[in-house]
Amino acid sequence: MKAWSQYLPRRNWMADVPMKVLAGPLLILMILAMMILPLPPFVLDLLFTFNIALAVMVLLVSMFTQKPLDFAAFPAVLLFTTLLRLSLNVASTRVVLMEGHQGGDAAGKVIEAFGQFLVGGNFAVGLVVFAILVIINFMVITKGAGRIAEVGARFMLDAMPGKQMAIDADLNAGLIGEDDARQRRTEISQEADFYGSMDGASKFVRGDAMAGLVIMVVNIIGGLMIGMLQHDMDFASAGRTYVLLTIGDGLVAQIPALVISTAAGVTVSRVTTDQDVGQQMIGQLFVNPQVMVLAAVVLGLLGLVPGMPNLVFLIFTALLGGLAWWMMREKERRLVEEQSQEAPPPTPEAPEASWDDVQLVDTLGLEVGHRLIPLVDAQQQGELLGRIKSVRKKFAQEVGFLPPVVHIRDNLELSPNAYRLTLKDAEIGRAEAYPGRWLAIDPGQVSGGLEGTSTKDPAFGLPAVWIDTEQREHAQVYGYTVVDASTVVATHLNHLLHRHAAEMLGRQEVQKLLDKLGEDQKGLVEEVVPKAISLTVLQRILQNLLDEDVSIRDLRTILDTLAEHAPQQQDAGELTAAVRLALGRAITQQWFAGHETLNVIGLDGQLEQVLTQAMNGSGALEPGLAETLMEQAEQALARHEASGEPPVLVVQHGLRAVLARFLRRRLRHLVVMSQAEIPDDRTLRVATLVGGQ
């Protein structure tokens, strides 16, 4: 009966596996095989040569990398190379002890060469050389590299929170994007893992040096016993044969171990720059000709001392002196080139205009006079930069979207202490600030006067005085609010950001809000935009909310409301009214936090009836009625604010939108709410009437 498998297509499974994936398992299997299976001398020669070549390659890679993460696999390489050397020790020990009585090449040509050529066939010299190599590797290189790796791992872990906060600050400030922030966080995590792994991997090298010393002692004792007891050799012959073979075996393993230890030290002791280790050493050792001259003088004086190797010292004196002369000539040549480059070039022909000449306007800008430059100069520790970052972050947390980055530049056309804030290249605010002085703001209940430059608080228009530092404590005692120049500018910026929030919310910001909400509420976002309403309509609704100081943080509730009402209504104004009803509790909480009874401004009954009839009739207010309404609203607002209550006017739902548009033209800080927006569990009390006697 034929098997059904013959009709199935045959597949070469090994062909689907990349060789890079098989490299690690094959190396481990080879190492285990060397520990278990006997190897002929020729194979040992190949493996010893491969071990030396691998050690040299690791050292060169560590020398040419520019930062530790470029060789992130180094801890794993340390483990594999250590296991490879130990397995070679096991395999060579087996051959030396079994075949060593046949002659020096019984364990392969490599071991014989290291035992004969490098130490001249003298096992005493070989023992000393081997001991020195082990001491250098164990006591100096390995110990130092291990300590550096340990301290580096500790410092890296301690610095992680600060680096993460720096990334978050740059991200919130708009200096980097999400992809850049994610990449930098990954690099920080990889650096911590690398130094932690190096701290542990350095113990492999240290243990390898100890193991090499113990293996050598065991091999010498075992070789003497096998030679004398099994092969009837005398003590001298057995010692000469097996000790030389053991020394050759130890040297052929310790020299690659020393190279790998050096590579580990280079990797953990380097400072991350744009240069490799060799470039750093050459560029920093041989950079000052004065050092070369002084070194040549010292060697020259030593070369003149009788009994010293004068020729050698004088040769190096000449070399260092020639190097110093060449370095001084190069330095002079570079200075001449720089001066020639600084010379004004001939006036070139005016180039044709191109699209590179088109400069797009900045959404937000801050222009400062020359005396305010220290406030915004990072090199002079200007405090205003940090304040602006904090203002943008606080705005994003309160309002619900990230404002544009503030582009700062100096403007010589401004007076020295003046600054101006621009929105899309149009001025939205201008004032003056005095670095080194303090602004004492009168909140309305001060008990004394101050000497200084009288002005007004640029954010809220309150009376204020610029005072010197000596009067700061007196101003605070008198009841003034005292702030420095950076705080004045930052507060002014924060006030203008809230006032012009609707103008800063563009389509790109709305799309980013939808993308952020879509991470958790993808179905809701897709149901509303673009199925129910377009992105443009949603932008208009959000701008309407921002224009009346309503936060758009609760985007989920906004979209839930639009999903319910948008199929029946497409007008942005009507949809805004529906959203305000859904956000009523949040709006009330914004102005009456912690108050069960809401003391508000209300409309006189007759005035409310007149306004309702006017809206139902012509849909517009008569000029006389409009002027009277504005005057009475101003008077009522002044009385209401004098009693310390929030500036909130509550009207019927049908009148809210019209009165808000009309009254807020002059009374910008007046809040107009609908009765339907007040939650049922709050008590409404009309404390001030508009139009009442």
The tens digit of pLDDT for each residue in 216-246 reads 777 777 777 777 777 777 777 766 666 767 7
The span from the CA of 240 to the CA of 190, in Å, is: 51
Whether 1 has a pLDDT exceeding 50, the answer reads: no
> Considering only CA atoms, which of 575, 566, 502, 545 is closest in space to residue 660?
545
Among positive and negative, which fits the CA dihedral 670, 675, 677, 679?
positive
Whether 8 has a pLDDT exceeding 50, the answer reads: no
Task: Tell me the pLDDT band of 16, cut-offs 50, 70 and 90.
Answer: very low
Of the listed ranges 25-34, 197-206, 590-599, 628-637, the one predicted with least confidence: 197-206
> Considering only CA atoms, which of 668, 632, 673 is closest in space to residue 650?
673
Mention every residue, 6+ apart, whose C-beta is less than 8 A from residue 169: 389
Query: Region 61-74: what's the mean pLDDT?
Result: 73
Of the listed ranges 43-52, 69-78, 464-473, 541-550, the one predicted with least confidence: 69-78
- Separation of first and last alpha carbons in the chain: 110
Rounded to 5 degrees, what are φ and ψ at 568? -100, -15
Look at residue 5 in the predicted model and tell me its pLDDT.
Answer: 40
Final residue before a domain boundary, out of 241, 266, 282: 282
CB 137 within 8 A of CB 213: no
Whether 334 has a pLDDT exceeding 90, the answer reads: no
Any domain includes 545: no
More confident residue, 392 or 159: 392
Using DSSP's 3-state secondary structure scheme, residue 361 falls into coil
Any domain includes 571: no
Same domain, 606 and 671: yes
The span from the CA of 693 to the CA of 688, in Å, is: 11
> Considering only CA atoms, which of 643, 599, 375, 593 is closest in space to residue 485?
375
Same domain, 649 and 609: yes
Total domains in the fold of the chain: 4
The span from the CA of 376 to the CA of 1, in Å, is: 88
Tokens, residue 217: 């002692």
Same domain, 213 and 268: yes
- The neighbouring-strand residues paired with 174 are none
Query: Region 408-426: what's the mean pLDDT?
Result: 91
Same domain, 437 and 475: yes
99 to 90, 110, 167, 249, 262: CA distances (angstroms) = 14, 15, 63, 14, 34
- Read off the pLDDT of residues 478-517 as tens digits, 9 standing for 90 and up: 889 999 999 999 999 999 999 999 999 999 999 999 999 9
Using DSSP's 3-state secondary structure scheme, residue 83 falls into helix
Any domain includes 424: yes
More confident residue, 258 or 162: 258
Same domain, 69 and 133: yes
The span from the CA of 663 to the CA of 636, in Å, is: 12
Any domain includes 572: no
Any domain includes 449: yes
Look at residue 273 in the predicted model and tell me its pLDDT.
Answer: 56
Whether 605 has a pLDDT exceeding 80, the answer reads: yes
Same domain, 299 and 416: no
Same domain, 305 and 396: no
Query: Region 337-365: what's the mean pLDDT?
Result: 70
- The neighbouring-strand residues paired with 685 are 599
Of the listed ranges 237-251, 367-381, 593-607, 645-659, the one predicted with least confidence: 237-251
Whether 2 has a pLDDT exceeding 50, the answer reads: no
Q: Write the CATH number for 641.
A: 3.40.50.12790
Look at residue 23 in the predicted model and tell me its pLDDT.
Answer: 61
- The neighbouring-strand residues paired with 409 are 367
The span from the CA of 116 to the CA of 110, in Å, is: 10
Tally of CB atoms within 10 A around 230: 11
Among positive and negative, which fits the CA dihedral 557, 560, 566, 568?
negative
Same domain, 255 and 317: no
Whether 263 has a pLDDT exceeding 70, the answer reads: yes
Tell me whether strands 463-467 and 438-441 are parallel, antiparallel or unpaired. Answer: antiparallel
The span from the CA of 260 to the CA of 83, in Å, is: 13
Same domain, 452 and 475: yes
Tally of CB atoms within 10 A around 370: 13
Q: Which domain holds residue 376?
A: 364-502
Same domain, 133 and 206: yes
Task: Sheet containing 453-456: give its strands across.
Answer: 453-456, 463-467, 438-441, 481-484
Any domain includes 509: no
Task: Tell me the pLDDT band of 164, cut-offs 50, 70 and 90.
Answer: confident
Tally of CB atoms within 10 A around 575: 23
Whether 455 has a pLDDT exceeding 90, the answer reads: yes
> Considering only CA atoms, which of 576, 601, 574 is closest in space to residue 671?
601
Any domain includes 232: yes
CB 134 within 8 A of CB 255: no
Same domain, 272 and 294: no
Q: Write the CATH number for 426.
A: 3.40.30.60
Percent residues over pLDDT 90 in the chain: 22
Tokens, residue 545: 């909310």
Mention every residue, 6+ apart, whose C-beta is less than 8 A from residue 216: 130, 246, 247, 249, 250
Final residue before a domain boundary, out of 502, 533, 567: 502
Any domain includes 516: no
Q: Element (H or E) spanning 19, and its range?
A: helix 19-36
Same domain, 276 and 394: no
